[in-house]
Amino acid sequence: MHPRWRTALLAVVIATVTAVSACGGRGPLAPEYEYEEDLTLSLDGSATLVVNASVPALVALHGLALDTALNARADELRNQIRSAYSSDNTRVGRISNWTRRGRRFVGIHLAIDDVRALSNVPPLAWSKYELYEEGEQVVYRHKLSPSQNAPALPVNGLTGDELVAFRLHLPARIRFQNSRYLGKDESRPAARGNILTWEQRLRERRLGKPIAYAEDRTPDVMEVRMDRESILYRTLWLFGIAFVAAMLVIAGLIWLTMRRGGPAPSDHPR
């Protein structure tokens, strides 16, 4: 390949990687969410949650008293957000911020001891989380309620057409889930095997319109049924078995080599 073409190709690759990184690893053509809750769940109930949202969306959905101006003091905004999301059950980590379409966005990283107590955090009080065993499966249910104390639109340019998403990373094989494509009654398959997404318009979420129906037809419940055994645990177990088997094969080959390659008989008479 000509050096100039190689340089151009390298530039394209770097630009693509940068774009994907800026979009949270989901690619430059992924939907732009005004508000997103990205939950990574463990079978014991512990979890991590990343809330990526515009400051106006936090005001419009949760009624938080935040300054929506682009020139608002970043340190004061972070302190207010940290205070709102902190609890005995949650620890607020990094709070990042960026701008898009004339609005400031924040990324709030939370470590959670028990997802079932997450509704005690004021901005997440609109949710009720359940996680329990049922036979050979584990059931996860996330029930939503309408926004509380939310001001009327528009808030800093929001129209209500913006997208809201709830993303769920699961630790085990999925047996049932009720995610749907936006505006359709069509089942939405899991991404990469264990990542689910529910989407809704901002105005619909504010009004409490159902984002999904549970298996028992309970409205506004995101539901998943999965195996009781973690995918990671199963993978490590299989890896361990494969490793032991490989070691036994190697040990057997060494033993056979040593047995066949014993000392040659002496040519000198005794």
pLDDT tens for the chain, 270 residues long, are 555 554 444 444 444 444 443 344 455 567 899 999 999 999 999 999 999 999 999 999 998 999 999 999 999 999 999 999 999 999 999 999 999 999 999 999 999 999 999 999 999 999 999 999 999 999 999 999 988 777 777 778 899 999 999 999 999 999 999 998 887 878 899 998 899 999 999 999 998 999 999 999 999 999 999 999 865 444 444 444 555 666 777 777 776 777 676 555 555 555
pLDDT at 62: 92
Beta bridge partners of 128: 143
Cα(171)–Cα(214) distance, integer angstroms:
20
pLDDT at 30: 74
SS3 of residue 95 by DSSP: strand
pLDDT at 17: 41
pLDDT at 250: 79
Map tokens 């584990």 to a residue.
138
Nearby residues of 218 by Cβ (< 8 Å), 6 or more positions away: 143
Q: Cβ atoms within 10 A of the Cβ of 84, count? A: 19
